[in-house]
Amino acid sequence: MAALTIKQLRYLDALARHQHFGQAADACSISQPALSLQIKELEAITGTALVERGPRTVRLTRIGEDFVRKARQVLVAVDELEDLVRAAHGPLAGRFRLGVIPTVAPYLLPSTIAALSERFPDIELEVRESVTKSLVADLLESRLDAAIVALPISEQALREFALFKEDFVLVRPSSDAEKPVPSPDMLRTMRLLLLEEGHCFRDQALSFCEIKKTQPRQLMEGSSLSTLVQMVGAGMGVTLIPEMALNLETRSADVSIARFPSPTPSRTIGMIWRKSNPLADHLMQVGAIVRGLGNRKNR
């Protein structure tokens, strides 16, 4: 039997994730015919169909699912071998894949990219913004080197490195500026604007207001903090945002800001990575840099 190649395993992994030849080819930076040819060669080598091809979608066969599961273990091990070599050659260099949740990315990324590029001039940063669940999956399958998220994650295979703590602030219409700051009990009776399902900040806001996810209630949703603040400015309700987002999101909105008394609602932002990642010492250095930036933004 001819030898399998790492490249073929990466192509099959991409196809399994995207379930579309065109999208998988784009993710791998090759043409669709080239990716299709590599998958056919892989099937010829294994002597079995790994992919079920439909008119619009692609699905893995039962054997294909088992094959991809094992292939991903191989790819993680290969990536860690490469990281082991990188770690032995001094400062962090080459490709560095960093994930960031949407309620942090717009406010921390610009300064983070600048600081890391200055500290590690040979680094090649690749940044991905997504919700926590997706970032954790990408970390576990070695599609990311590290991610900045809200802690805790409580995933056994991942190391958690706390960066900074930030408070939540209440954003309400400017006409409410002189009103008392509502308690969590009062907030439950107000029209609360929240991020869509999947965002951890949504769950944190619900927790502070002691609103259960399953509790029937009229909640208005937005796709970003910016959308929520603009909705507040239009008189549609109130919302919570993290301290870091305050200056950027409220500067052009007709809203007022209220700070909660102690105990103030807050979250801990941290960086996570696989415990098995040989770049752990370098990642600690990256974390220390981001920690400094975050603490300055929240003063």
The answer to which of 16-25, 89-98, 157-166, 167-176 has the lowest mean pLDDT is 89-98
CATH number at residue 106: 3.40.190.10
The answer for residues whose C-beta is within 8 angstroms of residue 32's C-beta and 6 or more apart is: 21, 22, 25
CA 48 to centroid of chain Cα atoms: 36
∠ at Cα 240 (238, 244), nearest 5°? 135
pLDDT, tens only, 212-268: 654 545 567 888 999 999 999 999 999 999 999 999 999 888 999 999 998 889 999
Taking residue 96's Cβ as centre, other Cβ atoms within 10 Å add up to 21
- Do 290 and 240 fall within a single domain? no
The number of distinct structural domains making up the chain is 3
Instruction: Tell whether 202 and 134 lie within a shared domain.
Output: no
Report d(CA 238, CA 202) in Å as an integer. 13
Task: Kindly report the pTM of this predicted structure.
Answer: 0.77
Residue 1 lies in a domain: no
Coil vs helix vs strand at 135: helix
Exposed (0-12), middle (13-18) or buried (19+): which is 235, by Cβ within 10 Å?
Answer: middle
Please give the residue range of the domain that contains residue 15.
6-85
Q: What is the CATH number of the domain that holds 54?
A: 1.10.10.10
pLDDT of residue 232: 94
